Homo-oligomer: A and B are copies of this chain.
Amino acid sequence: MIISLELDSETPLYEQLRNQIVIGIAMGTLAEQERLPSVRQLAEDLGINTMTVNKTYALLKQEGYIVIDRRHGAKVAPRAAVGQEPTEQLTHQLQLIIAQAAIQGVDQSRFQTLCGQIFAKMAYQT
């Protein structure tokens, strides 16, 4: 799995990393139950500090995306049941994106198509 960080971005490194791992999980690049690289390993590969990776893992764990097994390190969490209702937070985020899209002149059908294309790349989808 390829991870690229922008060191001069506004988004903190640990958050960029978190986002890329979340996408990786959803796209199946990181399979369910698969082991993530060790904190040290990943830190070295990316050329960043172990603490930063540590924070990322702690965050992902807290959000339920991964589980940390004392014996074997971090693994992708088992997937949730399908058919869940969208979170309120997710709805808010989506509303903001759609607002931006609408103002920028992207019409609804184009937007829905885009959603479809992105969903098609997700392995988590049934």
With contact pairs A22-B103, A26-B99, A114-B86 given, residues A69 and B108 touching in the complex (Cβ less than 8 Å): no
With contact pairs A70-B12, A96-B22, A96-B23 given, residues A108 and B102 touching in the complex (Cβ less than 8 Å): no
Name the one of B84, B97, B126 contacting A94, with C-beta atoms under 8 angstroms. Answer: B97
Contact, CB under 8 Å: A23 / B122: no
With contact pairs A8-B68, A71-B7, A96-B23 given, residues A111 and B115 touching in the complex (Cβ less than 8 Å): yes
Q: Report the Cα distance A69→B6, complex, angstroms.
A: 9
7 sampled A-B residue pairs with Cβ under 8 A: A13-B70, A22-B99, A79-B105, A82-B105, A90-B106, A99-B122, A112-B116
User: Does A100 sit within 8 A of B, measured CB to CB?
Assistant: yes
Name the one of B7, B91, B111, B116 contacting A86, with C-beta atoms under 8 angstroms. Answer: B111
Contact, CB under 8 Å: B116 / A108: yes
Q: Report the Cα distance A71→B8, complex, angstroms.
A: 9
Contact, CB under 8 Å: A99 / B23: yes
Contact, CB under 8 Å: B107 / A80: no
Q: Report the Cα distance A67→B6, complex, angstroms.
A: 11
